[in-house]
Amino acid sequence: MNNTLIKLRSIEKSFDGERVLCGIDLDIHDKEFVTLLGPSGCGKTTTLRIIGGFENADTGDVFFDGERINELPAHQRQVNTVFQRYALFPHLNVYDNVAFGLRVQKLKEDEIQVRVREMLEMTGLRGFEARRPATLSGGQQQRVAIARALINRPRVLLLDEPLGALDLKLRKDMQNELKRIQRETGITFIYVTHDQEEALSMSDTVVVMANGRIQQIGTPTDIYNEPVNAFVADFIGESNIIDGVMPEDNKARFAGHTFDCVDGGFAKNEAVDIVIRPEDVDVVPVEKGMLSGVVSGVTFKGDYYEIIVDVKGFKWMIETSDYVAPDEKIGLYIEPDAIHVMKKSEYSGKFGDYSTFSDEMDHLSDPDAEVSENEEEAILS
Amino acid sequence: MKKKLSFLERAAAVPHMVWVVMFIVAPLLFVAYFAFTDVGGGFTFSNIQLLSSYSHIFLVSICFSLVATFFCLLIGYPLAFFMSRAKPSTQKLLTVLLMLPMWISLLIRTYSLMTLLDNGGLVNSLLGKLGFDPIAMVGTGGAVILGMIYDFLPYMVLPIYTSMQKLDNRYLEAAADLGCTPLQTMLRVVLPLTVPGIISGVTMVFVPSISTFYISQKLGGGNFDLIGDTIERQFKYPSTYHVGAAISLVMMILILISVAVMNRFSDEKGEMIV
pLDDT in tens, A149-203: 999 999 999 999 988 878 888 888 889 989 999 998 899 999 999 999 899 999 9
Closest-approach residue (CA) in chain A for B194: A91
Q: pTM (2 decimals)?
A: 0.79
Confidence band for B40, pLDDT divided at 50, 70 and 90: confident
Q: Say if CB B39 and CB B239 are below 8 A apart.
A: yes
**Quick check: B63 pLDDT over 70?**
yes
Contact residues, chain B to chain A, C-beta under 8 Å: 168, 170-171, 173-181, 184, 188-189, 192-193, 269, 272-274
pLDDT at residue A267, rounded to an integer: 87
Cβ-based contacts of B173 with chain A (< 8 Å): 54, 74, 81, 83, 87
**Quick check: A244 pLDDT over 60?**
yes
- Answer yes or no: is B146 within a domain: yes
CA distance A328 to A1: 52
- Answer yes or no: is B10 within a domain: no
Residues B256-266 pLDDT 10s = 888 888 877 76
In terms of Cα–Cα distance, which of A254, A243, A246, A273 is closest to A345?
A273
- Answer yes or no: is B175 within a domain: yes
The 8-class DSSP code of residue A304 comes to: S
- Answer yes or no: is B11 within a domain: no
- Answer yes or no: is B209 within a domain: yes
Mean pLDDT of B241-247: 89
Residues A131-163 pLDDT 10s = 999 999 988 999 999 999 999 999 999 999 988
CA distance A280 to A338: 6
Q: Which long-range contacts (CB under 8 A, 24 or more apart) does A244-247 make?
A: A244/A271, A244/A272, A244/A273, A244/A274, A244/A341, A245/A269, A245/A270, A245/A271, A245/A272, A246/A270, A246/A272, A246/A341
- Answer yes or no: is B46 within a domain: no
- Answer yes or no: is B37 within a domain: no
Other CB atoms closer than 10 Å to residue A302's CB: what's the count?
A: 5
pLDDT at residue A378, rounded to an integer: 39
- pLDDT: is B4 or B100 the higher one? B100
- What structural domains does chain A harbor? 4-224 (3.40.50.300), 242-364 (2.40.50.140)
Residues A290-320 pLDDT 10s = 889 999 889 998 889 999 999 888 889 999 9
- pLDDT: is A379 or A49 the higher one? A49
**Quick check: A14 pLDDT over 50?**
yes
**Quick check: B142 pLDDT over 80?**
yes
pLDDT at residue B260, rounded to an integer: 86
Q: How many domains does chain B have?
A: 1
A104 vs B: CB within 8 A: yes
Q: Could you list the residue range(s) of the whole structural domain that residue B184 is in? A: 53-273
Confidence band for A2, pLDDT divided at 50, 70 and 90: low
- Supply the CATH number for residue B103's domain: 1.10.3720.10
Confidence band for A368, pLDDT divided at 50, 70 and 90: very low
- Answer yes or no: is B35 within a domain: no
- Report residue A134: phi and psi, to 5°: -65, -20
Cβ-based contacts of A16 with chain B (< 8 Å): none
Most B CBs within 10 Å: which of A98, A100, A105, as the mutation test of the B interface?
Answer: A100
| Strand, helix or coil for residue A102 | helix
Other CB atoms closer than 10 Å to residue B261's CB: what's the count?
A: 10
CA distance B243 to B38: 9
CB burial of B173-204 (b: ≥16 within 10 Å; e: otherwise) equals bbbbbbbbeeebbbebbbeebbbbbbbbbbbb
**Quick check: A204 pLDDT over 90?**
yes
Residues A340-360 pLDDT 10s = 998 888 888 777 777 665 544
Sign of CA dihedral B81, B86, B88, B91: negative
CA distance B105 to B189: 38
Q: Say if CB B210 and CB B62 are below 8 A apart.
A: yes
Q: Say if CB A272 and CB A244 are below 8 A apart.
A: yes
Distance from CA of B86 to the nearest CA of A (A): 16
| Strand, helix or coil for residue A126 | coil
**Quick check: A376 pLDDT over 50?**
no
